[in-house]
A and B are shown apart, each in its own frame.
Chain A
Amino acid sequence: MPGAVVERGERVTFRTVERDDTEFLQRATTDPRIRFPLGTFRHKNRAQRREQLEAHAENDEVYAFVVCLDGEDESEAAADPASGETASHDATAGHPDEGETTRIGAVKVHGVDGDRAFLSYWLLPAYHGEGYGGEAAALAVDYTFRTTSVHGMSAGAYDFNEASRGLLESLGCEEDVHVRETNFVDGEYHDAYTYSLLRREWAD
């Protein structure tokens, strides 16, 4: 079960990555629809994924979140102050009960203690195509520029990942680098593109 809410968008919430989330996050290393775009060529078992979780999500250089949709109960409690005390809102914004929130993906920002941060994200395939990716990425960019002094943010995408490349362009990212046939993914070599967005560009 994901942890407390750190950041709230219109529809998605960013919650802390808890060790209990290992099994959910393992999906990004096994489902070919997720792991190929992420460049995770080797699947991981739960023990390996948990080690990765400790190395990344519990590291000072990294912001890591589980991206969630909060359930209707919660939205209503939050939207209608008359229906409940402030306590209900606080409770849901804090630690959710099972069923109050649905994990749909994850976002990571590496290098937040340096000059340049690196953004990555994934969503379960069932939640693609509904604008959640754009909302989550924008929320991560916003949060990173607001809470750190990084000068810019970068992100990468393979040639076949048109959804992600479109998303990065729609956020205002510029294509910096195109590396030809750099990784063997799903049966052939693919090109990788690196994008970036500077703080002043985001401010605009």
Chain B
Amino acid sequence: MPGPVVERGDRLTFRTVERSDAEFLQRATTDPRIRWSLGLTDHGNREACRERIERDAESDGTHGFVVCLDGAAESEAAKGPASGAPASHESPASHETAAGHPGDGDATPIGAAYARGLDGDRAWLAYWLLPAYRGEGYGRELGGLVVDHAFNTSAVHGVSAAAFAFNEASRGLLESLGFSEDCCEREAYYGHGEHHDMHVYSLLRREWNAVRAQ
């Protein structure tokens, strides 16, 4: 079960990566529709994914999130008092409970987002969505939220992200967010039976500010 909400978009929430999310996150290392675009050539078992959470999502420079759709159950809990908050003080607590820790089934994990290197000058972004949730604009919202988060919570000068040549959805997404392509590393990655070019994009803080001002 994902943890409490850290960032909230129109439709998506970013929740903390809990160790119990290992099973969900494992999908990114096993499903070929996700792992190849992330460059994850090794699949990992659940234990390996749990270790990765401790190494990656819990490390200082990394902000990791489980990307969720919050269910109707939660929205209603947020409105009404009967959400499982302690009965002794009903009114405001129930909303806070819903805004904080969801019950099982309140939030549906649909992907993950990471910003790494937030303790330095330049952060690196990575993200994925379950294939069933692609093509509905969630990626765009996710990308905007993670860029916002990086620039709001750290003093980084810019953010970078990479996409392989075949990943047109991700390349289009980065361009639509205002990223510029900085370089192309030719045949940098072997996966899926052949070598692929890797395109590196970046977005500077002042460029993001200009995009947001529009």
Contact = CB atoms under 8 A, between A and B. Distances in A.
Interface of A: 23, 26-27, 30-32, 41-48, 69-74, 98-102, 104, 124-127, 184, 186-187, 189
A69 B87 CA distance: 12
Given A45-B16, A46-B16, A126 B95 contact: yes
A71 B154 contact: no
B88 A71 contact: yes
B53 to A, nearest CB: 8
Contact of A30 (B3, B91, B118): B3
B58 interface: yes
A47 B86 contact: no
Interface in B60-117: 60, 63, 85-89, 91-93, 95-96, 99-101
A127 B17 CA distance: 27
Given A41-B154, A186-B152, A186-B153, A27 B16 contact: no
A99 B6 contact: no
A31 B19 CA distance: 20
Contact of A102 (B5, B6, B57, B93): B93
Given A31-B99, A31-B100, A126-B93, A73 B88 contact: yes
B140 to A, nearest CB: 21
A50 B122 CA distance: 30
A30 B92 contact: no
Contacts of A45: 3, 16-19, 53, 57-58
Nearest to B90: A102
B4 interface: yes
B188 interface: no
B151 interface: yes
A124 B96 contact: yes
A73 B19 CA distance: 38
Contact of B63 (A42, A48, A71): A42
Given A43-B6, A186-B152, A69 B88 contact: yes
A41 B153 contact: yes
Q: Which of A27, A125, A127 has the most CB of B within 10 A?
A: A27
Nearest to A33: B99
Q: Which of A41, A43, A101 has the most CB of B within 10 A?
A: A43
B98 to A, nearest CB: 11
Contact of B89 (A23, A41, A69): A69
